[in-house]
Amino acid sequence: MKSLCHTTHWDDKIVIKNCSCLQWRKLVPIIKELFPEISPAKISWILRTYKKNTYIALLDNDIVGFYIYYTISNNPDEVWLDYIGINKKNRNRGIGSLLLISLLDNAITEGFNKVLLSVRKNNIHSTNFYKKNGFKQISETTEQITYCKETDNSNSVKKSFNRKSETSANIINKIYLKILYFFIVVL
Ligand SMILES: CC(C)(COP(=O)(O)OP(=O)(O)OC[C@H]1O[C@@H](n2cnc3c(N)ncnc32)[C@H](O)[C@@H]1OP(=O)(O)O)[C@@H](O)C(=O)NCCC(=O)NCCS
């Protein structure tokens, strides 16, 4: 709840969008800084392979964070978060939570029911971050925990939006019928 209140403020300033090839040059140093264990060759492979699934958060046109997700062809139900990161300067401002909302939105749009991710157990801040954002633990190994969030809740927002649109459509239909009825009666 706390983060949602704060993110309303950030919503006006933060733009989350698909990362264009032109923006890769600026994104690479951020990935390197946040995930030094990934080799430069692997970073460029990831960006080329998951081009469509790489999203960035822009603050005043500067990249402050990103996420990359992937899907598994024989599992039409799930989207996996591969990497998510916010540069140090901009952490704890709700931007990471906004990125998770964007990821869930993409999953819904593409027809997936679940978003999953694995995180190292010693990454306490991130495990708290996922729990705070409604992810539930579904399994664990000695090193990693896997979390899952179903897209149902976010879906209900879309459904209620659609219901509103249907209501507007009904009102327009009713007006149209009244006009038609008026002309029929006058004629
Ligand atoms: C994990 C990560 C992406 C979270 O991003 P973030 O932008 O800091 O996340 P949020 O701000 O949405 O939430 C994180 C914390 O900030 C707090 N917060 C949220 N909005 C806030 C605001 N406007 N002001 C102050 N605090 C806020 C939250 O309560 C939360 O605190 P808590 O977890 O201590 O309770 C970021 O820490 C990161 O990049 N880590 C390094 C890379 C990494 O480990 N990635 C995950 C690998 S699996």
d(CA 57, CA 179): 48
Query: For residue 111, how far is its CA from the centre of ligand 1 (angstroms)?
Result: 27
Residue 118 has pLDDT above 50, yes or no: yes
Whole-angstrom Cα Rg for the chain: 21
Residues 6+ apart with CB under 8 A from 72: 78, 80
Q: Give me 34's structure tokens.
A: 């946040």
Residue 95 has pLDDT above 50, yes or no: yes
Residues 6+ apart with CB under 8 A from 100: 67, 84, 130, 133
Residue 23 has pLDDT above 80, yes or no: yes
pLDDT of residue 64: 97
Ligand 1 pocket: which residues have CB below 6 Å? 2-3, 6, 34, 84-86, 91-97, 119, 123, 125-126, 128-129, 132
pTM for the full predicted model: 0.79
Instruction: Quick: pLDDT tens for 48-73.
Output: 999 999 999 999 999 999 999 999 98
CATH class label, 8-113+151-186: alpha beta
What is the residue extent of each domain of the chain? 8-113+151-186
Query: For residue 42, how far is its CA from the centre of ligand 1 (angstroms)?
Result: 25
* Cα first-last separation, the chain: 59
Candidate from 58, 80, 92 with most ligand 1 atoms within 8 A of CB, to mutate:
92
